[in-house]
Structure formats: structure tokens, C-alpha cells
């Protein structure tokens, strides 16, 4: 017969076996009894039921617990200045100085005026009252006067009905509709100022005329020249510092002069340079307007009808100037 191998099969341990084993133990004290009860999952000392945290029922307190707590303010850092390097030691021996004492510039004693030593305080100086000077063309009328004197005519926008009717009646073929002329200041102005010795009382008025013309025509559209007695030698300084002579161009020329009038009686003798100025402007088609500060009975004779003369005084009005010039100067 063959040999059979025996297999040792041990039974599984169940809870009843554990109870029987624990029941067979001979416990002596309370500690052993609690240990046996702990093995079975029982405790001799019942514990109280756990209470939920109060934050669950208090929503506001619960939200505060969820929010991050603010950090305490940090103290600013303390900056310690860097330690400077120690200075190099000075030499033991002294160095000779080459400085020399200069002589006193101011005198040691000054002669004081007698009023300084007088008793009492000196009276304070009274401010001088400046008298307002009125310009020859008043502020309320100078714009209208200068605009009438320097205006030129150009083709306007309004249709000239009278010329249109005349052309239709004569059966003329019109290439374009006739337009009425209108006054314009687009050509600017050449301002020639006489700074001769006879015009010394009017030098401030000459400077004021520059500002008045610039307000009407525009400072950038005004070229200012000065001369002494002879207007054809008028010159001006450019922005580059060069002396530029006046040359006639196709634009109005405004001259302020007294023609060398001195005294209160008689007329001034006309300088030949004025005839040259008028001839140059007439050839170039530039209108000439001459402002004279003296009354009309003092004006020189022999200028002709081309230059327009106007009295440079507060009594002059724009209507007087328009009576001579009309709507504006004709320029081709």
C-alpha cells in the first residue's frame, strides 16, 4: 500500500470561540475586566455623546472663521546709514600757505550827506504818477481806420446783377458769372516809419502804430521798416541779425511821416526821395497811404493824386478814409 500524506486542517476561530476563551479567564481586578470587555468591543465607562461645534449654527461666526485673519502691521525697517570711510590721516608737518592779503577796495571812510545825520527819519520817496498817453488813432476807432486804409479789392462771391443784365441785353457770351468785388486784407502791409529828428515827439505813436497795424493785418503779415528823412532807404533787422533794405512789392505801403515839418508856420519842402518812392510804388502797382500828424494846411504840395494822404489824429474817422479809397485799392 502506498503512503498517504496527512493534512493538518485547523478550524477557524469565530467570535464564540473568543467569548469561550475570554470566559475561561480568571480575572481578579477591575482592570482585567475592562481589558476583557475591550476585546469584545464594550466599555464599562460610557462616554457622553459628542456635541457639534457652535460655529455650524452661528453663520456669521462661521463666515468669520473662513475669512483670512488680517496680518498684524509690520514695523517699518530700520535703515542704518552706511558707515563712512575714515579720513586719511593728515601729515604731521604743516604746509605753507601762499595766500596773500589783497588791498581794501572800498574806502575806509565815506563822506555821509548832511541830511543823513539830521534828526528824524527821512521821508519816504513818493511814487511818480505816470500820465496815460493817448494814441493818435484811438483804440475804439483804429481798427476801422486802418482796415479802410489797407484794404484791397478782390473778386467776391456775390453775383453782380447789373453786369449780368447788361451782358444779357447786349447778347454777350459769358464765360463765367460776373461777381461783385469785396474788400480784403490778405495782401498784408509794408509799414515805413520815419524816425527822423523832426518826428521825435511822435516816436511813441510810431511804436504804437506797429501794434495797431499788427492787430488789423496780423503781425506775421506786416513788415516794419524805419528810415530817416529818405523813405527809399528804409531798412529793417531780420531774425538772423542782418540789415535788410526795403524793396517794393505788390502790397499796400503805409507810411507815417511829417515830411520834415518844423515850427508852426509854412509848409515843408518836399524831399526828392518822396517822388522816387511814389514812382516805384506806381510802377509795381502797390497803393501808398501816408499818415501825417500835422493838419492839412501844413501838408506839402506836389505829391500828385496817387498817394492817399490821411490826417493822423484822433479826429480822423473810417468814413473819411473810405471817401478817398472807397471799397479798397484796385490791384491787378
pLDDT of res. 52: 58
Answer yes or no: is 291 within a domain.
Answer: yes
Answer whether residue 269 is part of any domain.
Answer: yes
Which region among 61-70, 75-84, 99-108, 322-331 has the lowest average model confidence (pLDDT)? Answer: 61-70
3-state secondary structure of 224: strand
Domains held by the chain: number: 1
Going by pLDDT thresholds of 50, 70 and 90, the confidence category of residue 282 is: very high
- Nearest alpha carbon to residue 21 among 39, 41, 42: 39
Kindly state whether residue 41 falls inside one of the protein's structural domains. Answer: no
Decide which of 234 and 115 is more confident: 234
Checking if the pLDDT of 153 tops 60, the result is: yes
pLDDT of residue 2: 44
Q: Is residue 202 one of the residues assigned to a domain? A: yes
Identify the pLDDT of residue 4.
45
Q: What is the mean pLDDT of residues 257-268?
A: 74
Residue 50: inside a domain, yes or no?
Answer: no
Residue 272 falls inside a structural domain: yes
Q: Please tell me the predicted confidence (pLDDT) of residue 318.
A: 93
Using alpha carbons, select from 231, 232, 209 the residue that is nearest to residue 222.
209
**Residue 255 lies inside a defined structural domain of this protein:** yes
Beta-strand runs (E) in 124-276: 152-159, 179-184, 189-194, 222-227, 235-237, 243-245, 253-256
Alpha helix positions (H), the chain: 15-23, 30-39, 59-66, 114-117, 142-150, 161-169, 203-217, 272-284, 318-325
Which helix (H) or strand (E) segment is 291 a member of?
strand 288-292
pLDDT digits (tens, 9 = 90+) for 86-129: 888 877 777 777 788 777 666 666 677 777 777 766 666 677 76
The larger pLDDT score, comparing residue 221 to residue 77, is at: 221
Give the per-residue pLDDT at 62.
60
* Host domain of residue 236: 142-154+182-325
User: Residue 186 sits in a domain of what CATH number?
Assistant: 3.40.50
Task: Report percent pLDDT > 70 for the chain.
Answer: 78
Alpha-carbon distance 191 to 252, whole Å? 9
The pLDDT assigned to 54 comes to 58
Using 50, 70 and 90 to split pLDDT, how confident is the model at 178? confident
Is 117 contained in some domain? no
- Work out the average pLDDT over 76-81: 68
Amino acid at each position: 500500500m502506498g503512503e498517504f500524506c496527512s493534512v493538518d486542517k485547523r478550524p477557524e476561530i469565530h467570535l464564540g470561540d473568543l467569548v469561550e476563551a475570554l470566559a475561561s479567564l480568571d480575572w481578579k481586578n477591575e482592570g482585567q475586566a475592562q481589558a476583557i470587555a475591550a476585546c469584545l468591543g464594550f466599555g464599562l465607562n460610557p462616554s457622553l455623546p459628542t456635541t457639534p461645534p457652535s460655529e455650524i449654527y452661528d453663520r456669521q461666526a462661521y463666515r468669520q472663521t473662513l475669512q483670512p485673519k488680517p496680518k498684524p502691521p509690520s514695523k517699518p525697517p530700520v535703515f542704518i546709514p552706511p558707515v563712512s570711510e575714515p579720513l586719511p590721516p593728515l601729515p604731521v608737518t604743516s604746509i605753507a600757505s601762499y595766500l596773500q592779503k589783497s588791498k581794501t577796495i572800498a574806502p575806509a571812510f565815506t563822506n555821509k550827506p548832511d541830511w543823513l545825520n539830521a534828526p528824524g527819519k527821512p521821508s519816504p520817496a513818493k511814487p511818480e504818477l505816470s500820465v496815460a498817453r493817448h494814441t493818435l488813432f484811438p483804440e475804439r476807432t483804429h481798427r476801422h481806420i486802418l482796415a479802410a486804409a489797407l484794404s484791397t479789392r478782390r473778386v467776391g462771391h456775390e453775383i453782380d446783377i447789373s453786369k449780368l443784365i447788361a451782358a444779357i441785353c447786349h447778347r454777350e457770351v459769358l464765360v463765367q458769372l460776373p461777381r461783385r468785388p469785396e474788400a480784403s486784407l490778405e495782401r498784408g502791409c509794408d509799414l515805413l516809419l520815419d524816425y527822423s529828428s523832426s518826428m521825435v515827439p511822435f516816436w511813441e505813436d510810431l511804436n504804437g502804430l506797429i501794434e495797431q497795424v499788427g492787430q488789423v493785418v496780423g503781425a506775421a503779415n506786416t513788415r516794419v521798416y524805419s528810415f530817416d528823412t529818405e523813405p527809399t532807404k528804409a531798412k529793417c533787422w531780420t531774425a538772423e541779425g542782418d540789415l535788410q533794405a526795403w524793396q517794393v512789392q505788390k502790397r499796400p505801403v503805409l507810411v507815417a511821416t511829417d515830411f520834415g515839418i518844423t515850427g508852426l508856420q509854412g509848409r515843408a519842402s518836399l524831399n526828392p526821395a518822396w517822388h522816387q518812392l511814389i514812382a516805384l510804388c506806381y510802377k509795381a502797382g502797390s497803393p501808398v497811404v501816408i499818415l501825417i500828424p500835422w493838419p492839412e494846411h501844413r501838408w506839402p504840395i506836389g505829391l500828385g493824386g496817387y498817394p492817399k494822404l490821411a490826417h493822423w489824429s484822433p479826429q480822423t474817422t473810417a468814413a473819411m478814409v473810405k471817401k478817398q479809397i472807397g471799397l479798397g485799392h484796385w490791384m491787378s
